[in-house]
Chains A and B, each alone.
Chain A
Amino acid sequence: MTIQTRVLFAVLYVVLTPFVIGLLDGFDRKISARMQGRRGPSVLQPFFDLKKLFEKEFLTANKMQLFLIRSYLCFIVLSGIIFFAGFDLLLVIFSLSTAAMFLILASTATHSPFASQGTSRELVQIMACEPMELLVAVGFYLATSTFTVSDIVTKSPVANIRFLPGFFVGFVFILTIKFRKSPFDISTSHHAHQEVIKGVTSEMVGKEYAMVTIAEWYENAILLGIVGLFFVSSNILTVIGAVIAILVVWFLEILIDNTSARVKWQLMLKLAWGTTIVAAGMNLFLLEIIRG
């Protein structure tokens, strides 16, 4: 991949993500509402929300929070750039977890009961997901002998999902957690009605909260990008397949969100790790055997 295309992709990512994912989020809310028999908000609602949040007065319980949140946002974007510019997948995941750390620091800086309890949950959540995220990178390495995203795309003659069904299942499973959908006790879940209020974001006011939202969008773009990565190959037409796959996964997540209760984090950890070990582990083992 030439440096120009890399830069192009990175710029596209930075510029387009808020619009695309914001819109997806809007549709998410609309579809959820319809699934609940409601009419729901306009699909542009996420943007109205953001605008409003930026207009709010800035209150804070601890000044350190703002700068940590900005760092969180920057790191997420940086990870996204690494990913979309086609660099090392493993590094993307490492730098995502570094970003998450900033969020965690931001939330505990306030000494708030709900933010702190939420932080602990957030940590558990990261711990539940991280093995699977790393394994996805491992899976791609096994299938293509490289961690580099651009090589994964250009050097695979067929979509890698062929070799990695188990990894895909595991990844979709943890996406439910990553997308902050309700099936799990997630502190920043989009449904406020839980014991830790809004968890890590409890104390974030106005623009701080807006930044966290935007950061989440950027993160979701990376995650959906990884979903797509399972489906693309060097054939340009597979991009269409990837987009369809992304939409299907996205819809599936909404469906799961609307058809299950929020289970406790203990079960979340067990299920996430269990799925990781079973689905991804089996797949890993088989791939290793094939490679000899």
Chain B
Amino acid sequence: MGNRSVVPFGPQHPVLPEPVHLDLVLEDEKVLAAIPSIGFVHRGLESLTSKKDFNEMVYVAERICGICSFMHGMSYCMALEDIMNVEVPRRADYLRTIWGEMSRLHSHLLWLGLLADGFGFESLFMHSWRLREKILDMFEASTGGRVIFSVNTIGGVLKDMPADMLKDFVRQLDEMEKEIRETTAIFLDDYTVKSRLVDIGIISGEDAIRRGAVGPMMRASGINVDMRKNGYGAYNDIDFEVITSNKCDSYARCEVRIGEIFQSIDIIRQCVAKIPDTEINTKVTGMPNGESIIRVEQPRGEAFYHVRANGTKFLDRFRVRTPTFANIPALAQTLQGCQYSDVPLLVLTIDPCISCTER
């Protein structure tokens, strides 16, 4: 029968702020096949190790992605600290944890907004982003940047947060929490929203593992994995439960991320309460030699850093496997058989970050 459409989707497309391309085979609007294609953002920044020394690479790592830039900078520094056997001062660990959780907050709010935009709920999008702006203001007050912070350095962090600033942040978060609760309730309760999320893009726990999914994508399929439980940074001092859901659909992914928003607020509170008063960085000398693998739980899931140094200031290998990269095979599976209108939504439910995927 001739009633099949073969159409391109992207790279430039209003529902995708980032360029992704899909070849879609549709019957009516049912997706029979979806072949993702990447490479529109590929820069090849891993190769910069041969041109920039390992210190400058901190700034490159930060710019792998503008959403979790902090976490990238941090992971990179952690890898080098591991190689060079540097003991990071405890306060730096705590500060990193606080900023990291703030990143998660801002990333999840951003994601909620984009999701709302994806299913055409404009006012909810605006609402989520308005809330996110407050987090950005905190970032700007503490680091001087809204999305790229440049506060990480090998051996610790560059800027401290004074006690009153921390207190003020906690107060602001307390205030926001109520508003966030009101807003996120819409995602979980509204009939129209549910009609777009429930039972859309189901992927079972086993499939998620087979496809190598990570992060909320995996936790929404009932798999209890969270790299923070490995206890890097200050997480070994923090009390938190991994949030999972057994529904395996888009709604579950939404649920997990919303749960993590409140969890992040809670972790920040705990950190502020426990933060020790030490130095914020240690001086690092010498050249790195050796290799290290670091896994960090970014908002989108596990990021995998593999750094290999050879005793010069230019690294041998700097490998980042970002969460989105790992989630793409799972995405390809969920796209099979979905509706055309679900395509952007499903792309969004893995919380894609193409720039980090393609580096």
A/B contact in complex, CB under 8 angstroms: yes
User: Does residue B130 face the partner (Cβ distance < 8 Å to A)?
Assistant: yes
User: Does residue B50 face the partner (Cβ distance < 8 Å to A)?
Assistant: no
Contacts of B123 in A (CB 8 A): 32, 35-36, 258-259
Contact, CB under 8 Å: A260 / B14: no
Closest to A186 in B: B120
Name the segment of B201-209, B227-235, B314-322, B335-343 touching the other chain.
B335-343
**Which of B15, B127, B343 has the most chain A CB atoms closer than 10 A to its own CB?**
B15
Interface residues of B in 101-150 (CB under 8 A from A): 116-124, 126-127, 130
Name the segment of A93-101, A131-139, A215-223, A261-269 touching the other chain.
A261-269
Contact, CB under 8 Å: B15 / A261: no
User: Does residue B90 face the partner (Cβ distance < 8 Å to A)?
Assistant: no
Contacts of B9 in A (CB 8 A): 195
0/1 string, B54-90, CB within 8 A of A gives 1: 0000000000000000000000000000000000000
A189-B120, A193-B117, A197-B14 given; A264·B339 CB < 8 A:
yes
Contact, CB under 8 Å: A113 / B341: no
Alpha-carbon distance between A183 and B196 when the two chains are bound, in angstroms: 11
0/1 string, B166-198, CB within 8 A of A gives 1: 000000000000000000000000111101100
**Which of B26, B121, B191 has the most chain A CB atoms closer than 10 A to its own CB?**
B121
Nearest CB on A from B158, distance (A): 35
A117-B340, A182-B121 given; A192·B195 CB < 8 A:
no
Contacts of B193 in A (CB 8 A): 260-261
Nearest CB on B from A50, distance (A): 22
Closest to B186 in A: A259
Alpha-carbon distance between A183 and B9 when the two chains are bound, in angstroms: 23
Contacts of B13 in A (CB 8 A): 195, 197
Among all A-B residue pairs, the 6 with the closest Cβ atoms: A262-B120, A36-B126, A113-B7, A261-B192, A260-B192, A261-B121
Contact, CB under 8 Å: B130 / A261: no
Nearest CB on B from A178, distance (A): 17
0/1 string, A165-208, CB within 8 A of B gives 1: 00000000000000000110100010111111100000000000
Interface residues of A in 115-133 (CB under 8 A from B): 116-117, 120
A193-B117, A264-B339, A267-B195 given; A258·B15 CB < 8 A:
no
User: Does residue B29 face the partner (Cβ distance < 8 Å to A)?
Assistant: yes
Nearest CB on A from B104, distance (A): 24
User: Does residue B329 face the partner (Cβ distance < 8 Å to A)?
Assistant: no
Among A32, A37, A113, contact of B127 (Cβ-Cβ < 8 Å): A37
Alpha-carbon distance between A35 and B122 when the two chains are bound, in angstroms: 10
Contact, CB under 8 Å: A260 / B190: yes
Among A116, A195, A263, A267, contact of B343 (Cβ-Cβ < 8 Å): A195
Closest to B130 in A: A37
Among B7, B26, B29, B190, contact of A261 (Cβ-Cβ < 8 Å): B190
A36-B123, A259-B123 given; A192·B14 CB < 8 A:
yes
Contacts of A185 in B (CB 8 A): 341
User: Does residue A38 face the partner (Cβ distance < 8 Å to B)?
Assistant: yes
Q: List 29 A-B contacts (CB under 8 A).
A: A32-B123, A35-B123, A36-B122, A37-B126, A117-B29, A117-B340, A185-B341, A189-B120, A195-B13, A195-B15, A195-B344, A197-B14, A258-B122, A260-B191, A260-B192, A261-B119, A261-B121, A261-B190, A262-B119, A262-B120, A262-B121, A262-B192, A262-B196, A263-B192, A263-B196, A264-B339, A264-B341, A264-B342, A265-B341
Contact, CB under 8 Å: B195 / A263: yes
Alpha-carbon distance between A123 and B121 when the two chains are bound, in angstroms: 23
Contacts of B343 in A (CB 8 A): 195
Contact, CB under 8 Å: A193 / B14: yes
Contacts of A192 in B (CB 8 A): 14
User: Does residue B311 face the partner (Cβ distance < 8 Å to A)?
Assistant: no
Among A35, A117, A191, A265, contact of B120 (Cβ-Cβ < 8 Å): A191
Contacts of B196 in A (CB 8 A): 261-264
Alpha-carbon distance between A267 and B198 when the two chains are bound, in angstroms: 14
Nearest CB on B from A187, distance (A): 11
User: Does residue B8 face the partner (Cβ distance < 8 Å to A)?
Assistant: yes
0/1 string, A24-42, CB within 8 A of B gives 1: 0000000010011110000
User: Does residue B5 face the partner (Cβ distance < 8 Å to A)?
Assistant: yes
Nearest CB on A from B288, distance (A): 45
Contact, CB under 8 Å: B120 / A182: yes
0/1 string, B301-343, CB within 8 A of A gives 1: 0000000000000000000000000000000000000011111
Closest to A195 in B: B344
Contacts of A261 in B (CB 8 A): 116, 119-121, 124, 190, 192-193, 195-196
Contact, CB under 8 Å: A182 / B15: no
Nearest CB on B from A134, distance (A): 25
Contact, CB under 8 Å: A195 / B341: yes
Alpha-carbon distance between A191 and B340 when the two chains are bound, in angstroms: 17
Closest to B114 in A: A193
Closest to A190 in B: B122
Alpha-carbon distance between A100 and B122 when the two chains are bound, in angstroms: 27
If A117-B7, A195-B15, A261-B124 are given as contacts, then 5 extra A-B residue pairs at C-beta distance below 8 Å, sorted by A number, are: A113-B5, A262-B119, A262-B120, A262-B192, A265-B341
